[in-house]
Amino acid sequence: MAAVVNGSFASPIANADYTPFGSADGGLLSKVYNSISGLSVTITLLLILVAYDQFKYVWNKGSIVGPSWKIPFIGPFLQSVNPKMDEYKAKWASGDLSCVSVFHKFVVMASSRDMARKVFNSPTFVKPCVVDVAVKLLRPTNWVFLDGKAHVDYRKGLNGLFTRQALEAYLPGQEEVYDRYFARALEISEQGDKEKGVPFMPFFRELMCAVSCRTFVGHYMSDNAVKKIADDYWMITAALELVNFPIILPFTKTWYGKKAADMVLEEFSKCAAKSKARMAVGGDITCIMDAWVKSMIDSAKYNEKIAKGIAVEPEEKPATLVRDFSDFEISQTVFTFLFASQDATSSACTWLFQIMADRSEILDRVRAENLAARNGDKDVRFSMDLLENLPYTRAVVKELLRYRPPVIMVPYVVKKPFPITDSYTAPKGSMIIPSCWPALHDPEVYPNPDSYDPERWISGDAESKSKNWLVFGTGPHYCLGQTYAQLNLIGMIGKASLCVDWSHKPTEKSEDIEVFATLFPQDHCPLVFTERP
């Protein structure tokens, strides 16, 4: 029988009667391929990522306290955007170590005194990171992000800026600011509502920014520039939430914060250039920037003599030899001083005025002590001898810093796996946050810790509880300006007690705490200032 031949030139695939392997009707591969859609691929990948995100969180969490599962990807981000003091307290009370995970960041909270101190004193395992966006605002090259020997060496060059002699040189500029701003407080109250008062927290933020700028850069910066920085610094604070979106997006809080930080750095760079020119011709030291530039000039002269083989007497050698720093390097460093002081001192200042208005017996005692220290002349100017001999005023300030600590936590990043306890190791790259509030409100150390009681620093034993005094941190990154900060507050509230009277107009939110980088009264402290007779 003859074979059947396809008499056309068409290929077999073109023949309707021919069914090839893998066709839509019978091919296995074709069926699988056609069953896959972009949506199903997307959903599958999303489920894999969610599963991985959950697995990584549970793995990092280990044995410590924390939510049993994580909201996919973002975690408690919305909660971190609007933090509540009650939520922080609940977190601290939940365990010595607890955790959350927000976006890509795993966060460990070290709540107890001993856990907090261990973090502060473990530079081998951790280093300060503030918050993620801080590196972008302060710049990665900033000295606060240095580690190990580099950090130690840098600090040595800054220690001389906060000696007793140096601090005394800054006092005239500080008192000048207080004179001007206390006069303004009277004007604001005169024009404001006498019954309800004026919320003075924004004013106190500007006041403390002006004091800081005069202390750090003297009169190299105009009053208008100080006002601009005080106004815009609010945006820097707003950008420094504990956990932020990983990148800076235009027209967000971090974007505005970055623009404000750029402006501050530019202003401080201009001041550095002016200071160098003035100190080169023998100008007097009036601010921190002058003192630092002077140490650079003295170090350069000494090194030049040594290089030329000129004999130099031992007493001619500067206490610390420092290299020359560029205007921008100086600017970055001074910015960190403002960064460390602005919100913290604004908080302390606000609470001091509110608390003393509500406790007239404390204000009366501060006023009497300051007048006696000036031999009855309220116009006597600041001096270190004066400020160091106000024991009750000092107790008032120290109790405020304990009762309403301006810094409640200090974020660190884990450089390598950190065995913080025998049973838990914080993973590399995580954020670990030693908390200060619990140690400062420990009832076994400070009886009735939620009561404001300056007397505990006079007749009590609070002064001896140094392990719990974490207001300025501890370890290699403790606050350089802690003596300056306390003397500044002592001088401010003492001078205010002699120059003005003030009354607090309390509301239902006066004792409720707003967390905005630090702690403020939720009603922003409505006050009325009046002139003393």
Q: What is the CATH classification number for the domain harbouring 407? A: 1.10.630.10
Based on the fold, state whether residues 17 and 144 are members of the same structural domain: no
Q: Are residues 349 and 483 in the same domain?
A: yes
Q: Are 234 and 341 within one domain?
A: yes
- Contact (Cβ atoms closer than 8 angstroms) between residue 117 and residue 410: no
Using CA atoms, how far apart are residues 173 and 184, in angstroms rounded to an integer? 17
Domain annotation covers residue 43: no
Give the orientation angle of helix 327-358 with respect to helix 482-499, to 10 degrees. Answer: 50
Determine whether 476 is exposed, middle or buried from the number of CB atoms within 10 Å of its CB (0-12, 13-18, 19+).
Answer: middle
Q: What is the pLDDT of residue 34?
A: 59
Q: Is residue 311 classed as helix, strand or coil in its secondary structure?
A: coil
What pLDDT score does 232 carry? 92
186: in domain: yes
Give the model confidence (pLDDT) of 244-285 as tens digits.
Answer: 666 788 888 889 999 999 999 999 999 999 999 999 999 999
Strands 431-434 and 105-110 come out as parallel
Same domain? 357 vs 220: yes
> Residue 246's pLDDT is what?
63
Any binding-site annotation on 213? no
Q: How many domains does the chain have?
A: 2
| 3-class state of residue 113 by DSSP | helix
Q: Would you say residue 433 lies in a domain? A: yes
- What residue numbers bound the domain in which 3 lies? 1-33
**Judging by DSSP bridges, how do beta strands 526-531 and 500-504 pair with one another?**
antiparallel
Q: Quick one: the chain helix, strand, coil %, rounded to 5?
A: 55, 10, 35
First vs last Cα of the chain: how many Å apart?
133
**Amino acid sitting at position 235:** M
pLDDT reported for residue 28: 60
What is the pLDDT, as a whole number, of residue 313? Answer: 86
Distance between CA 346 and CA 283 in Å, rounded? 31
pLDDT under 50 in the chain at which residues?
Answer: 1-19, 21-24
Examine the domain organization and report whether 370 and 508 are in the same domain. Answer: yes
pLDDT of residue 334: 96
Instruction: Tell me, yes or no, whether 295 and 164 share the same domain.
Output: yes
pTM, entire model: 0.88
Report yes or no on 360 lying in a domain.
yes
- The pLDDT value given to residue 244: 63
Rounded CA separation 414/127 (Å): 7
Whether residue 71 is contained in a domain is answered as no
Long-range contacts of 497-500 (CB under 8 A, 24+ apart): 497/356, 497/363, 497/366, 497/367, 497/370, 498/367, 498/370, 498/371, 498/374, 498/378, 498/532, 499/182, 499/378, 499/532, 500/182, 500/185, 500/186, 500/529, 500/530, 500/531, 500/532
Same domain, 26 and 137: no
Same domain, 146 and 18: no
351 located within any domain? yes
**pLDDT at position 11:** 44
Same structural domain, 493 and 352: yes
Indicate the average pLDDT of the chain: 90
Q: Which pLDDT score is estimated for 264?
A: 96
Give the DSSP H or E segment for 492.
helix 482-499
